[in-house]
Amino acid sequence: MTRSETSSLPSVAVLGLGRMGAAMARRLHSRGHPVVTWSRSGRIVDDLTSVASPSAAVGTADVVLLCLFDGPACSAVVTSVRDHLDAGTVVVNTSTVGVHEAVALDADVRGSGAAYVHAPVMGSVPAVQSGALTVLVGSGEAYAAPASTVLDGLGDVLRCGAVADAAAAKLLANGVLGGAVLNLRYALIRAEELGIQPGPALSVLERTILGRLVGGKRDALEKGDFSDADFTVGALAKDLTLLAAHARSAEGLRDSVVGARDRGVAGPDDDIVALCAVEPEVDRPHRLSIAPGVTAAPEVLAPLEAYVAGHATGDASHHRRAFLPTAHIEGVRDGELVSWPLEDFCTLFKGQPAADETQRRRRIDRVEVAGSVANATLTLHHGADVFTDLFLLVRVGEGWRIANKAYHRSPSVIDG
């Protein structure tokens, strides 16, 4: 069925006119589809019909294309239009939502008698304009012909199975994107540490596996202007939060991106490549520094900072605040393995800083979070010795504590 009297192609209602929604509306119109649009913000697309409510839009459409920010937005719009859908309507959702959210939307739409196709896309506005998106399609029923015609005009359709499968596939893809952005960030940090200037560094990185990302974002990276966003930091943070809800291995990735956003390293409306900006140095007490690339949340760092404070002041109360009461501190001392309970370890601290405290340095080298546990590595330059401390941390209530510590002691090497 088509409701258009002027075209043999299915008519489309595009609900949501952000960058991707507006681009899809233009693309479908250019291919001859009758297109009507609606946006919560009141945004319009020149030369396309716009209506004041989503229910008015779906009343004229064979295919309802959802191009919205998240699951709650999709649910709200579907609730508002479900009584205006009929058995001939196909709701195609291109939004990135959680797996359970996609399944719930499918049930809600099918409860109205309409069909539902979950079709999140891979690619940005230029891919829409050239018809080069990858469309990840999931459907609980036969892939309806009107939806097929619309999506074939947007790009390459990859059938993923059921609705849940398509939703999961999009989260998988965006996890890879998030990982690539952070890998580029770390590569630029290493280039700085190696003394390679930004221009030559980008030229090298453009010829690596990160080349596609660098090539597409080089101008923004060189100018430091991330306002023209193809995909925003806020959207990536949302998607990685959804991913981590289903895949625990993604929790560290989520925390890195969300933490960088929350600390203001990158604004939520900035392009994701803003995450590659190097954070300014933050002055911390007790000559503690944090290695570039460590982006753990402040509450995860808190027990590590308390541990350092115990060393710097000689006050064991900081250690009692940092460690769980059941913690052990283990390592090789004078050729023998020691395994101190916390209170035995605390007896080593006499309430006074070391005589050479002003020359001592400490650095947090690595923090990796996996749900309610984390591990961390610190390097302590204490006089004639360098200590490498390995920590296991556990989230207890709203805070974090050190469950155990193991250390390696080696002589300090002085350049000369």
pLDDT beyond 70 at 113: yes
Please give the C-alpha separations between residue 387 and each of 214, 314, 331, 333, 406, in angstroms, as whole numbers. Answer: 38, 17, 10, 12, 10
pLDDT of residue 277: 80
pLDDT of residue 37: 96
Residue 350's alpha-carbon distances to 154, 309, 315, 346, in angstroms, are 70, 13, 7, 9
pLDDT digits (tens, 9 = 90+) for 170-181: 999 999 999 999
What integer pLDDT is reported at residue 413 of this predicted model?
58
Question: Which H or E run contains 210?
Answer: none
- The mean per-residue pLDDT over the stretch 307-335 comes to 95
pLDDT for position 408: 95
Contacts 24+ apart (CB under 8 A), 7-10: 7/32, 7/33, 7/34, 9/33, 9/34, 9/149, 10/62, 10/63, 10/146, 10/149, 10/150
The string of pLDDT tens digits covering residues 185-232 is: 889 988 887 889 999 999 999 999 999 999 999 999 999 999 999 999
- pLDDT-derived band at 4, boundaries 50, 70, 90: low
Pairing, β 121-122 against β 115-118: unpaired
Question: How many Å apart are CA 197 and CA 248, to the nearest integer?
Answer: 37
Q: What is the pLDDT of residue 389?
A: 97
* Residue 304 identity: L
Positive/negative CA dihedral, 313, 314, 318, 319: positive
Each residue's pLDDT tens digit, 261-292: 887 888 999 999 999 886 655 667 898 988 87
Topology agreement, domain 12-161 and domain 285-411: no
| pLDDT, tens digit, 9 for 90 and up, residues 52-110 | 999 999 988 999 999 999 999 999 999 999 999 988 899 999 999 999 999 999 999 99
Burial class (CB in 10 A: 0-12, 13-18, 19+), 282: exposed
pLDDT tier at 414, thresholds 50, 70, 90: very low
Identify the band that residue 2 occupies on the pLDDT scale cut at 50, 70 and 90: very low
Average of per-residue pLDDT across 246-257: 88
Using pLDDT thresholds of 50, 70 and 90, give the confidence band for residue 35.
very high
- Which tokens is 167 given? 């939703």
For residue 280, the model assigns a pLDDT of: 58
pLDDT at 38 over 70: yes
Kind and range of the H or E element at 22? helix 19-30
Statement: 285-411 belongs to CATH 1.10.10.520: no
Coil vs helix vs strand at 333: strand
Cα–Cα nearest to 183, from 264, 271, 92, 275:
275
Give, in words, the CATH class of 170-276: mainly alpha
Residue 246 has pLDDT above 80, yes or no: yes
Give the Cα separation of 389 and 337 in Å (integer): 15
Token output for 18: 């952000």
Asked if the model's pLDDT at residue 328 lies above 70, the reply is: yes
- The model's confidence at residue 303, banded by pLDDT at 50, 70 and 90, is very high
At 131-143, the pLDDT tens digits run 999 999 999 776 7
Tokens standing for 115?
């069909």
Domain ranges of the chain: 12-161, 170-276, 285-411
Determine the CATH number of domain 12-161: 3.40.50.720
pLDDT tens digit string along 155-175?
Answer: 999 999 999 999 999 999 999
Q: What pLDDT shows up at residue 248? A: 86
pLDDT for 140 equals: 78
Other Cβ atoms closer than 10 A to 384: 9
Please tell me what DSSP assigns to residue 286.
G
What is the token pair recorded at 120? 């999140």
pLDDT at 279: 64
Q: How far apart are CA 272 and CA 23, in angstroms?
A: 19
Stated pTM of the model: 0.75
- In the numeric block, the tokens 């760092």 are attached to 301
- Looking at the DSSP assignment, which residues form a beta bridge with residue 13? 36, 64
Is the pLDDT reported for residue 315 higher than 70?
Answer: yes
Q: What is the mean pLDDT of the chain?
A: 91
**Residues above pLDDT 90, as percent of the chain:** 76
